[in-house]
């Protein structure tokens, strides 16, 4: 606690601070009931994020029927969300509830690095998944040769490598600070862990979010048009010949495109408010209240828990895989060869 004398007043007002030092951030004190509710909500979010994405990682890794280029991208996306839940969210929870950072400047930098890495990796992977679905739906004859497992591995390497290099250069080198120092704003107070609250960061992050999202929106609009046309053709063929293996495969492709389109839509809903606020904040000298910022960032974090829920409600193969995992049948010697697509 620190004593603050109001100008022209005799009384002394006590203001809670994060640290007993000059320039410390003020601390927001919540009633115990509100603190407990926030902790419980964040804990449930972390648990949902970790367990849901862990199921995706185990399912795609274990079952050979799921070893496809698209599913390997889903696996890598789930791995990024899983790591976010394990390494970033616990400390973000404490920072949000206590309104202070108690883990030191070095770990603050590492925490920010991991946070940014996993979030950028997610959007890169969703963009690559959109490209994959575009080829599968719009160019079905070329798809098997254009999008192989090797190509998926290259996309995964890019999806992790580019965000890692970008974030490392920005956080761990002096090049940006020396070359564009007039854009930067110092950390406003001790105990905030707001290394990236500067104009440069806001303006760089917006195109990194906007352009991949624009690509995804354009591709899914085209996918939607082509998929509807294919659906009419399939309906016409079914009336004459009935459904066959090729038609069932086409239905699975369209189902996958629809599901991943929902995932992209939810990603936009979760991340767009935070991204816009970050950019606007740069223009208005960072006027966003800390409480509102925490709400926006946790709304963005919530996206990492959404994808497994989407798979549960959309993919029959994922529900079967989860059932085998939860009943421990996954430890059987032959479960890896189970055909999860079989009705």
Cα(153)–Cα(156) distance, integer angstroms = 5
Bridge partners (DSSP) of residue 15 are 2
Q: Average pLDDT across each block of 10 residues of the chain; the chain has 343 residues. List them in order.
A: 43 66 79 89 92 92 88 93 95 87 86 91 89 84 87 95 89 63 56 62 71 83 77 64 54 66 82 80 70 85 87 79 82 74 66
Long-range contacts of 212-219 (CB under 8 A, 24+ apart): 212/123, 212/124, 212/126, 212/127, 213/123, 213/264, 213/267, 213/268, 215/127, 215/130, 215/131, 216/126, 216/127, 216/130, 216/264, 217/264, 219/130, 219/131, 219/133, 219/134
Which domains are delineated in the chain?
33-326 (1.20.1070.10)
What pLDDT shows up at residue 200?
62
Cα(339)–Cα(196) distance, integer angstroms = 47
What pLDDT shows up at residue 12?
41
What pLDDT shows up at residue 9?
46
Q: In the 8-state DSSP scheme, what is residue 8?
A: T
pTM as predicted: 0.83
88 Cα distance to chain centroid: 12
Give CA separation, 270 vs 96, 197, 249, 273, 296, in Å: 18, 20, 32, 7, 8
Backbone phi and psi for residue 36, each to the nearest 5 degrees, phi listed first? -65, -40
What pLDDT shows up at residue 201?
63
């Amino acid at each position: 606690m620190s004593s603050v004398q109001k100008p022209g007043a005799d009384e002394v007002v006590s203001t809670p601070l994060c640290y007993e030092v000059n320039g410390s951030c003020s601390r927001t004190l919540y009633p115990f009931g509100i603190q407990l509710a926030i902790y419980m909500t964040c804990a449930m979010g972390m648990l949902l994020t970790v367990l849901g994405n862990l199921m995706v990682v185990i399912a795609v890794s274990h079952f050979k029927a799921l070893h496809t280029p698209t599913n390997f991208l889903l696996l890598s996306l789930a791995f990024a969300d899983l790591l976010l839940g394990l390494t970033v969210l616990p400390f973000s929870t404490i920072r949000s509830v206590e309104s202070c950072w108690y883990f030191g400047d070095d770990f603050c930098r590492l925490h920010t690095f991991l946070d940014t890495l996993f979030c950028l990796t997610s959007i890169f992977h969703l963009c690559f998944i959109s490209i994959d679905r575009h080829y599968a739906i719009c160019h079905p004859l070329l798809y098997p040769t254009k999008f192989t497992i090797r190509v998926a591995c290259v996309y995964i390497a890019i999806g992790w490598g580019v965000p890692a290099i970008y974030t490392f250069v920005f956080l761990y080198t002096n090049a940006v600070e020396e070359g564009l120092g007039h854009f930067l704003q110092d950390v406003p107070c001790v105990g905030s862990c707001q290394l990236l609250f500067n104009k440069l960061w806001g303006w760089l992050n917006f195109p990194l979010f906007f352009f991949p999202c624009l690509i995804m929106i354009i591709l899914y609009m085209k996918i939607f048009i082509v998929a509807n046309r294919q659906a009419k053709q399939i309906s016409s063929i079914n009336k004459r010949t009935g459904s066959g293996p090729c038609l069932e495969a086409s239905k699975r492709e369209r189902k996958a495109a629809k599901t991943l389109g929902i995932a992209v839509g939810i990603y936009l809903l979760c991340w767009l408010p935070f991204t816009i606020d970050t950019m606007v904040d740069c223009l208005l000298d960072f006027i966003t209240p800390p409480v509102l910022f925490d709400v926006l960032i946790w709304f963005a974090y919530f996206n990492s828990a959404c994808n497994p829920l989407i798979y549960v409600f959309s993919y029959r193969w994922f529900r079967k895989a989860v059932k085998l995992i939860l009943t421990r049948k996954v430890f059987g010697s032959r479960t890896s060869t189970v055909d999860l697509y079989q009705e």
